[in-house]
Amino acid sequence: MRRSKRVQWMRRAAGVILISALAGCKRDEATVYHIPKENSPPSQPAPAAMPEATSTEMTPPPAALPQLNYQLPENWQEKPPSEMRVASFTALGPNGQSADVSVIPLPIVGQDLELINMWRSQMQLPTTSDPDAVKQAEPVAIGTEQGRLFEFVSGQPMIGSARQRILVAELTRGPMSWFFKMTGEDTFVASQKENFLQFMKSVSFVENSSAQIATAPVTQNENANSIWTIPSDWQPLPPSQFLLAEFAITGTRGANADVNVAQMGGEGGGLLSNANRWRGQLGLPQIAETDLSTLVTSVDSANGKIQMVDFTGTDSKTGKPARLVGAVVPQNGQTWFYKLMGDESIVALQKDAFIKFIQSAKYPDAR
């Protein structure tokens, strides 16, 4: 049976990959799906700002996205694509087990170690600076092309008494990287690995599709669409990886800090997982749900409560002492993540400005 789906690509590229609501029904035969163009234009992203102004509009230029065809293994159910996903599924087991499967194209080429550390963080594994970590990937067939397969297992139980496992296959095609990901309970994902490999082998890319996807944002000197009031001493940077906006703050004697903003659908993994991701960036041990009440503070804003954490440790990239203030803001069915990180003295001086920056957001204007 052949089916066809029209999906909208949303530019909001934020670091983790989310689980959508389950949809679809069980199939007794393999099914081929298509992902062509959505009629409506891509949504406008959130703007950054130049230092002498309070806003900058980010305008994503469109690029062609090929049509994706594939065959589903038995007992895989389709879910509605959401946020960054162009395809989303649930793999079901005979005893009620399940795993989440997603397909996400992003304008990311390279940055392998950063991606590996992001996936390791999701499994509550320590970050690594070893460039040879990239070489641990297995070659894998994705259609007629060769990609790379990474596999990570949590060292400790993460959901109930079960450890978790991630399979992530990456294929670079021109300026785009395609990510095929399966996440779930350790032993079940391991049992589904062969189905995952066969699914990827069935993939074909049909070029010259009319589908469109937004590439990395570019900034323009426009003030009309700013959603924030930007402090004058924050220097805008081109947003990297999965960020919507990024700023540098420079102090005396080489001291510096960075501010970045990301946005994801739903809960974006929840406060605990993101707090532990931030702690990992400072070389701090993981915390449990019961620890949050003593580590989280709430700040009022016109958009509701801002949940904040404040950690001090050692920057895992530079080996220098660092402080990190992170904030989580649920809004309009999405979650916004703000991070101020860098030299302890700069972060201490900028924390109030950072809070006012978050409070100034006008989220409806960003949709």
Is the entire prediction scored with pTM above 0.75? Answer: no
**Which CATH number does the domain housing residue 292 bear?**
3.40.1000.10
In a domain, 287, yes or no: yes
Considering only CA atoms, which of 67, 73, 48 is closest in space to residue 58? 48
Considering only CA atoms, which of 81, 73, 57 is closest in space to residue 213? 81
As a whole number of angstroms, the distance between CA 57 and CA 245 comes to 11
Question: In the structure encoding, which two tokens stand for residue 60, read together?
Answer: 């994503």
As a whole number of angstroms, the distance between CA 142 and CA 133 comes to 21
Supply the pLDDT for residue 18: 31
Considering only CA atoms, which of 248, 256, 10, 280 is closest in space to residue 128? 280
**Contact of 212 with 37, CB cutoff 8 Å:** yes
In a domain, 291, yes or no: yes
In a domain, 26, yes or no: no
In a domain, 48, yes or no: no
For residues 247 and 109, membership in a common domain is answered with no
Supply the pLDDT for residue 364: 66
Question: In the structure encoding, which two tokens stand for residue 68, read together?
Answer: 């994706």
In a domain, 7, yes or no: no
> Which of 159, 185, 213 is the C-terminal boundary of a domain?
213
For residues 300 and 360, membership in a common domain is answered with yes
For residues 290 and 360, membership in a common domain is answered with yes
Kindly give the confidence (pLDDT) of every residue in the chain, 367 residues in length, as a single tens digit, with 9 standing for 90 and above: 333 333 333 333 333 333 232 223 333 333 333 333 333 333 333 333 322 233 323 333 334 567 778 889 999 998 876 657 788 899 999 888 999 999 988 876 557 888 888 889 889 899 888 888 888 899 999 999 999 999 999 988 887 788 999 999 999 887 788 999 999 999 999 999 999 999 999 998 877 533 333 333 333 333 334 689 999 999 998 876 567 889 999 988 888 999 999 887 777 777 888 898 899 899 999 899 899 999 999 999 988 899 999 999 999 888 999 999 999 999 887 889 999 999 999 999 999 999 999 999 988 654 4
CA angle 41, 236, 363 (to 5 degrees): 45
As a whole number of angstroms, the distance between CA 290 and CA 191 comes to 32
Supply the pLDDT for residue 14: 34
**Contact of 124 with 158, CB cutoff 8 Å:** yes
**Contact of 147 with 200, CB cutoff 8 Å:** yes
In a domain, 284, yes or no: yes
For residues 241 and 271, membership in a common domain is answered with yes
What 3-state DSSP class applies to 319?
Answer: coil
Number of domains composing the chain = 2
> Which of 145, 178, 213 is the C-terminal boundary of a domain?
213
Question: In the structure encoding, which two tokens stand for residue 343, read together?
Answer: 């030299």
For residues 345 and 200, membership in a common domain is answered with no
Q: Which domain holds residue 349?
A: 227-366
For residues 203 and 266, membership in a common domain is answered with no
In a domain, 12, yes or no: no
Determine the distance from the C-alpha atom of residue 121 to the mean position of all C-alpha atoms in its chain, rounded to a whole number: 12
Helix axes 112-122, 270-281, angle to 10 degrees: 130
For residues 249 and 186, membership in a common domain is answered with no
As a whole number of angstroms, the distance between CA 162 and CA 270 comes to 19
How many Cα atoms are found within 13 Å in the side-chain-facing hemisphere of 343? Answer: 13
Determine the distance from the C-alpha atom of residue 225 to the mean position of all C-alpha atoms in its chain, rounded to a whole number: 24
For residues 111 and 233, membership in a common domain is answered with no
